[in-house]
Structure 1
Amino acid sequence: MRLFEGILIVVHIVWLFSFLFRINVKVKGTLNLMAFLLLIIHLGFEGDRWQMGLTYILFILLTVFTIKSYMQKNAEKVLLEGVKNNRKVKRFVHILCMLIYSFGSVGLVTMMPVFQLPKPTGPFEVGMNSRHLIDESRYDSEQKARELMIQIWYPAEIRDTLKDMQYEPFPYVEWSGTMEFIFSVPRSLFEYLKYGQTNSIKDIAVSNREDKFPVLLFSHGYGSTRMQSFSQMEELASHGYIVVSVDHTNDAAYTRFPDGREIMNQTDAYSYSFNIDDEKDVKRRSKDISYVLDQLTIINHRDPQGLFNGKMDMGKIGILGHSYGGSTAAQALLDDSRISGGINIDGPLHEPVASSGFEQPFMFILDEDYLYIPDEEIQYTNITPAEFQRYHSKITELADFHYKEGIKGDTFMLTFIAGDHYTFTDFPFLSPLLSWNIDVNQFHEVMNKYALAFFDHYVKGKEADSLLREEKREDEFYYFKANMKKD
């Protein structure tokens, strides 16, 4: 709840009380003026959002009733004309209205808050840049060249002349489109997300504190967006990485190109393939990753925007992904030897990775229930409970096998006891309802701490952090185990 939103709601509750206790009409008028001034300040500095709709409507109604009370000799005739001779009924209705408004208004703005993403902990400020890429060598289903949007976060340089630079708002366009796909509701309901604040500055200069920075690639989950883990991208960039998140067009929930064209995922949100042998989609995603790497090499050599000339260390590359993006990370390690190591965040392994594995080091970051779906949700998918149980058993066995021996490089497994599949993303920041049973900041802090330790060692080439060298670690929150085969 923002400052003036809260004050405005409190004033309206007091205003309602003034009618309940037959307070002098001048007090009502004073409250009316205060509410009006606060409303103007709120709209001017904070902006309107539909979660405040009850307050906006109540302002109009109470203004009418206040004016009416001035015009009538008896202020008790203001409300509820049908019960004006029954004080008990009138008082009951007043109290009921106050309760409905109080819980409704406070509940809406609290459950759908205007939020600030957590501050990155690294020494660098964070810059952000978007790119539109067109792969003329591949075609989408409509026989058009494959187009991709990528988002780049990077260590930034803030000079004295740029102290007034503003952080970018939360990417509500991509998120509202994603929410429309997932929940089948109008994206306008999520337009309020534009008031959320990030820690990224658009198109600011890359830091000169280091000659060049290693590159990390990120692959989003099925039916999600390249913006899904904005806070994690900022955290990694603040520690000296250029982080590139790829929108896998058509597989992403929603993609918007610079010319205004929009592509919405045309499948059902629950149509995810529960077949580890179905490698077609993950292979296409892996090709997206390799193509993006090719383009980053070109941009690094001669950036048409002048930002990244020589600033990317293309000899130091890592990858991470969430859910189906974790599957993509594993496949990309198998397909592209330029990538030094990867992290799978709560995603399954598909073929051919499931059978062959790969050579590079790998970290599994999983939820304890590892992609488990309860029976009441399985009814929305394309499989039966029995089929899902077989699938779930298989992916769990594969994760354990590849942690122990199927992957030739060092392997690690970080398993969270609390949270769920979406706690790994920015979803919990959108509403307390999505994080009521967990400290989401602590969850992300632990996840990012281990991810940084992994990439610092296997991409930057630093000495392995003590976190990685602990053979086992248990906490009330998570447990960790390491299998350093080449140490």
Structure 2
Amino acid sequence: MRLLEGVLIVVHIFWLLSFLFRFNAKVKISTNLVAFILMMIHFEAEGHRWQMGLTYVLFIFLTLLILKPFIQRNSKKVKLDSENKKKVKKFCGILFILIYSISSFALVIMMPVFQLPKPTGPFEVGMTSRHLIDESRSQNTISKQEAREIMIQIWYPAEVTDDNQKIQYEAFPYEEWSGTMEFIFSFPRFFFNYLKYNESNSIKDITVSDQESKYPILVFSHGFGSTRMQSYSQMEELASHGYFVVSVDHTNDAGYTKFPDGREVMNRADAYSYSFNIEDEKDVKTRSRDVSFVVDQLTKINKQDSQKLFTGKMDIDRIGVFGHSYGGSTAAQVLLDDPRFLSGINIDGPLHEPVASSRLKKPFMFILDDDYLFLTDEEIKYTNVTPEEFREYHNKITELADFHYEEGIKNDTYRLTFIAGDHYTFTDFPYLSPLLSLDINVDQFHQVMNQYILAFFNQYVKGEKTDPILLKEKKVDEFYYFETNIKN
């Protein structure tokens, strides 16, 4: 809840009480004036949003009540109500105030305008987007086959060189989130437009920091039906520690993608049509090719950036990959397909073929929820499988994760398991509402996750000395435990 929102609600509660207990007319008029001034400041400084709709309507209603005596100045006075009617009126008035107070505060608190956590690294964070076209591959559109188009978002280490330079942080990517929420939950997109008032910690198109000659690259793959913007705070955190972090929108597999010319692509599949087949490699292979194509393009940008931001600044010889959910499956596939990647992390995703039957040779980390993609019988009803089929699938992916952690991967392997939160706690989605994070402090959860991700990539991409946290197994401690399997 933003400051002026809370103040406005409190002022309107007092205003309602002034009518209920028949305060002096001057008090009512003064409150009306204060509410009007606050409302104008709120619109200008914070912006309106539908969660404050009750307050906006109430302001109009109470203002009309204030004006009513002036409009009806010459009309005859109405006969005084009976004592019983007065009691009923007072009861209704108190009930209305309670309903308004609870509803108004609940709406703005349960669906807040939130601030992402500040990055902890030594760098400011720059950010830009790029539109890439792969002429060698095609994709299905509504009417025909066209060259595959991909949007990527790039976060990178930056610095403000001019002390007098005014820093303008980018607004939150509400369009991508709104489109994604529409796909996942079938809510109208405008329902989430208030997210445009969120602020990020990224500065658009600012100069790359000169503290180092070039910086390594981490490529991120989102979950099925999600968006490249799903883990915005994580991208900022990693970039602030000296990485180019490139998040890929897998067009048609993402929930929603918007291109620079205004074209929008919605995922046309059922949001719950995810494949529960270990042998289904088609989509994950497409995603893997997306990631390799992005690195091809980054290599060209690094040689000569048409936008004059990144020329010579990317270390193409030091690249890691990570992803969430189906993006975690993609990260493993990329390590199998593309020798340019040095290591990878799977964040709560299953292993598909051909990875499931392969023995990866590069350092790998599993970051999992303790329930590891488990669905209840009620949740299974929304999928395309039976409870028996799902249980067979779940047993298989659990066995595969255990096998690859223990011996299937020939290189150093790690496993970070959270015993609180759920599949989406690994993303920024829980910031939408406290109702999505009742059992966990999301900031603390992300802090732990990012600490291990940084330690892993610092060693296996940057080539730095091993962080002690990767050597120390941590058993159940508050809400996570960590296991390490050093093989080299």
CA–CA distance in structure 2, aligned partners of residues 285 and 397 of structure 1: 24
Deviation at 1:161, TM superposition (A): 5.5
Corresponding letter in the other structure for 2:405: Y
Counterpart for residue 29 of structure 1:
29
Residues 232-275 of structure 1: CA deviation (Å, up to 9, x unaligned)? 00000000000000000000000000000000000010000000
CA–CA distance in structure 1, aligned partners of residues 294 and 4 of structure 2: 44
Distance 1:402 1:162, change over 3 A: farther
Counterpart for residue 340 of structure 2:
338
Counterpart for residue 42 of structure 1:
42
Corresponding letter in the other structure for 1:278: D
CA–CA distance in structure 2, aligned partners of residues 386 and 95 of structure 1: 53
Distance 1:444 1:358, change over 3 A: same
Residues 55-89 of structure 1: CA deviation (Å, up to 9, x unaligned)? 00000001111112455689xx99xx999971111
SS of corresponding position for 1:199: strand
Residues 86-114 of structure 1: CA deviation (Å, up to 9, x unaligned)? 11110111011101110111110101101
Alignment equivalent of 2:402, drawn from 395, 400, 407: 400
Counterpart for residue 129 of structure 1:
128
Counterpart for residue 210 of structure 2:
208
Counterpart for residue 52 of structure 2:
52
1:168 aligns with 2:170: yes
Deviation at 1:474, TM superposition (A): 3.1
Contact 1:277 1:351 in 2 (8 A): yes
CA–CA distance in structure 2, aligned partners of residues 405 and 162 of structure 1: 55
Deviation at 1:199, TM superposition (A): 0.3
Residues 415-455 of structure 1: CA deviation (Å, up to 9, x unaligned)? 00000000000011111111111111100000000000000
When normalised by structure 1's length, the TM-score is 0.97
Which stretch of structure 1 is more off in the superposition, 163-172 or 233-242?
A: 163-172
CA–CA distance in structure 2, aligned partners of residues 280 and 244 of structure 1: 23
Residues 341-365 of structure 1: CA deviation (Å, up to 9, x unaligned)? 0000000000000001311100000
Residues 346-394 of structure 1: CA deviation (Å, up to 9, x unaligned)? 0000000000131110000000000001110100100000100000000
Deviation at 1:471, TM superposition (A): 3.6
Counterpart for residue 91 of structure 1:
90
Deviation at 1:473, TM superposition (A): 3.5
Please list, as runs of the form range in 1=range in 2, the aligned pairs for 1:7-406 lying within 5 A after superposition: 7-70=7-70, 86-141=85-140, 142-160=144-162, 163-406=165-408
CA–CA distance in structure 1, aligned partners of residues 260 and 129 of structure 2: 9
Contact 1:83 1:89 in 2 (8 A): no
CA–CA distance in structure 2, aligned partners of residues 403 and 287 of structure 1: 25
Deviation at 1:310, TM superposition (A): 0.4
CA–CA distance in structure 1, aligned partners of residues 193 and 30 of structure 2: 33
Query: How much identity, in percent, do the aligned residues show?
Result: 70
Contact 1:129 1:151 in 2 (8 A): yes
CA–CA distance in structure 1, aligned partners of residues 224 and 125 of structure 2: 27
When normalised by structure 2's length, the TM-score is 0.97
Residues 449-478 of structure 1: CA deviation (Å, up to 9, x unaligned)? 000000000000001100111144431210
Distance 1:162 1:257, change over 3 A: farther
Deviation at 1:160, TM superposition (A): 1.5
Deviation at 1:169, TM superposition (A): 1.0
Contact 1:25 1:70 in 2 (8 A): no
Gaps of 5+ in 1: none
CA–CA distance in structure 2, aligned partners of residues 83 and 174 of structure 1: 58
CA–CA distance in structure 2, aligned partners of residues 297 and 341 of structure 1: 18
CA–CA distance in structure 1, aligned partners of residues 382 and 11 of structure 2: 45
Counterpart for residue 428 of structure 1:
430
Contact 1:472 1:482 in 2 (8 A): no
Corresponding letter in the other structure for 1:382: N
Gaps of 5+ in 2: none
Deviation at 1:192, TM superposition (A): 0.2
Corresponding letter in the other structure for 1:251: D
CA–CA distance in structure 2, aligned partners of residues 268 and 164 of structure 1: 45
Q: How many residues align?
A: 482
SS of corresponding position for 1:86: helix
